[in-house]
A and B are shown apart, each in its own frame.
Chain A
């Protein structure tokens, strides 16, 4: 995974709350077996409307999505994160994210930033007034800045470190493989096991 220290880019205002993952990436795209190529599926139903913000030329190169409250509700599909990343987004800002979506995003290096709604509104106003406004999402200082404005956000130290180092979660866990083995040796005997795979 690439290291993420800070990213500067223009932003797009998605003035909708409760954007569920069925809107972010409809089920039909989930039939794919790859991690890439989901950019066409991103908000595909809403993009049929020529007035939808993603279709506006002034926001064409936006790499930061600024959304309403409760972004990413519903299904656990990580494809929602991949669709946003494949499309070109590096960060999403909202005042609240659904748990599973947030976990998925931070796993995959899509930075989800939680800011109070009043600050989200201020950003919307700024980028609607001037779509060329540059926002910087900075993991090192845990800030989002644009113009003269600096907003701080929370992110636990561990996740911040992992993202800034571009580290793979699985590799980190495998360092403690022996501790996992000791735990397994003490597990209750009555816990169920599944049957073996059938021979071909």
Chain B
């Protein structure tokens, strides 16, 4: 019987297999940031261990960093300590770091691909659940906890049990105004936040093949919100063209060898997935979340649901609580929901194509006076690219704020936060209670919906303009 893509990558990385024990898996790339590494470095120091492969390790600063005044010392002393700690640790252990102000600095899952470090067939880990993003390249990429970070540092391996496999087949063509963000939000609404638990998801089908690498990254990024450990998309010409010429892309004879290997990274025709889910791309519409987990989403053209209509007791209770927290009433049209803050950014939708898409909607118009808009490029390179295209002027002229790169408002950890009760339309990936700031209310949206919302003041899609 044939193998799925995930199984092929797994087998290629098993260092040791023994009965009754987890497989020991080799890790090709370890990405590090300031939040989940300090205790891991401490652990190495306490046990007198070194990083086994600093040449397969790279660090950036993203979660705790401000997106303004980055030339000045970080104002919050606790944040400053954490970032300083990462810098000291990288210097001590010999890890290349791209600090605030460095041209390669940015959100870790934007930095890996833009440097060409993320390549097909690799195992990639980071102390961050959205590591699944790199699966867009046909890599097996997943988030790990701090103890596992320490384990990878010391051994360049992880003891793991092979996951089950789930195929998500998306056939058809997206209608205008429907994006990869809407695909993944629809998938999560369909299978639930626990639906992918224990599985690696492989996204297949004509609608997936049509997506650019950035579109694929958006989808793989949110695999974790469906409960999956990782999500991936088989590499193809789109993938190879993206990687070619990037700083760490193989060159010359190595490029040819790489292509030959990467071309084998396809699920075999006779392989069997443990589960298969189908989605018709033709039926998809702009999607938004109304509740407090990424699975509580609906097409924008709908109303806030009535918990009484939900059969399952758990889901009904969760919906009731969500409506209270989000201060929403059943039956309210989603398009009438007033927004205070629009956030365009994050490892989900902070890349150049996302900024271009939003800028095209906003160009020569003004955002609604009732809200503010924060535009945060995913990396310094994305920012520079956007500025060379004049996108920054488009956003600033419209009344939005143009920032430096970082995780920013995705999570309430750096200065970019919602105040209690504020309501956002956010191109990020999580709408949990308090995620963007204590008492903050988050609606997850695509960059197109974010842009249209910024102009109209309520949740909107470009078709409403």
Contact = CB atoms under 8 A, between A and B. Distances in A.
A192 B248 contact: yes
B36 interface: yes
Contacts of A191: 28, 119, 122
B244 interface: no
Contacts of B317: 17
B289 interface: no
B38 A99 contact: no
Contacts of B176: none
A34 interface: yes
B78 interface: yes
Interface stretch (A50-58, A102-110, A122-130, A131-139): A102-110
Contact of A183 (B26, B94, B229): B26
Contacts of B56: 193-194
Contacts, number: 218
B357 to A, nearest CB: 27
Contacts of A34: 38-39
A196 interface: yes
B15 A169 contact: no
Interface string A172-197: 11101101100110011111111111
Nearest to B228: A99
Contact of B197 (A45, A98, A108, A183): A98
A75 B78 CA distance: 21
Interface string B335-353: 0000000000000000000
Contacts of B401: none
B433 A170 contact: no
Contacts of A192: 28-29, 116-117, 119, 122, 248-250
Between A35, A103, A183, A192, the greatest number of chain B beta carbons within 10 A of the residue's beta carbon is seen for: A192
A118 interface: no
B26 A156 contact: no
A34 B318 CA distance: 33
Interface stretch (B147-155, B381-389, B448-456, B457-465): B147-155
Contact of B91 (A69, A156, A200): A200
A98 B227 contact: yes
Interface stretch (A6-14, A19-27, A83-91): A19-27
Interface stretch (B16-24, B179-187, B272-280): B16-24
Interface stretch (B204-212, B252-260, B302-310, B370-378): B252-260
A86 B183 CA distance: 40
Interface in B88-127: 90-91, 94-97, 116-117, 119, 122, 127
B96 A197 contact: yes
Given A20-B293, A33-B85, A78 B147 contact: yes
Given A22-B432, A194-B58, A170 B412 contact: no
Nearest to A71: B194
Interface string B17-55: 000111010101100000110110010000101001011
B267 interface: no
A155 interface: no
B430 interface: yes
A143 interface: no
Q: How large is the interface on A (under 10, 10 to 19, 20 to 34, 35 or more residues)?
A: 35 or more
B119 A196 contact: no
Contact of B145 (A68, A77, A198): A77
A179 B432 contact: no
A50 to B, nearest CB: 17
B438 A197 contact: no
Nearest to B97: A197
Nearest to A46: B433
A58 to B, nearest CB: 23
A32 to B, nearest CB: 7
A33 B39 contact: yes
B67 interface: no
Nearest to B438: A45
A158 B147 contact: no
A76 B412 contact: no
Between A18, A23, A68, A103, the greatest number of chain B beta carbons within 10 A of the residue's beta carbon is seen for: A18
Contact of A104 (B52, B117, B145, B157): B145
B411 interface: yes
A166 interface: no
Given A33-B42, A158-B20, 10 more contacts: A31-B35, A73-B193, A79-B146, A100-B224, A169-B159, A173-B151, A173-B157, A179-B24, A192-B249, A196-B55
25 contacts: A17-B317, A18-B318, A20-B430, A22-B432, A22-B434, A23-B434, A32-B82, A33-B81, A69-B194, A76-B36, A76-B143, A79-B146, A99-B227, A104-B145, A107-B148, A169-B151, A170-B154, A174-B154, A179-B24, A188-B258, A190-B258, A190-B261, A192-B29, A192-B122, A192-B250
Interface of A: 16-18, 20, 22-23, 26-28, 30-35, 45, 68-70, 73-79, 81, 96, 98-100, 103-104, 107-108, 156-158, 169-170, 172-174, 176-177, 179-180, 183-184, 187-198, 200
Q: Would you list the 7 A-B pairs with minimal beta carbon distance, nearest first?
A: A78-B145, A104-B145, A33-B38, A76-B143, A27-B413, A190-B254, A190-B250
Interface of B: 15-16, 20-22, 24, 26, 28-29, 35-36, 38-39, 42, 47, 49, 52, 54-58, 63-64, 76, 78-79, 81-82, 85, 90-91, 94-97, 116-117, 119, 122, 127-129, 142-148, 150-151, 154-157, 159, 161, 163, 193-194, 197-198, 224-225, 227-229, 248-250, 254-255, 257-258, 261, 293, 314, 317-318, 321, 411-413, 430, 432-435, 438
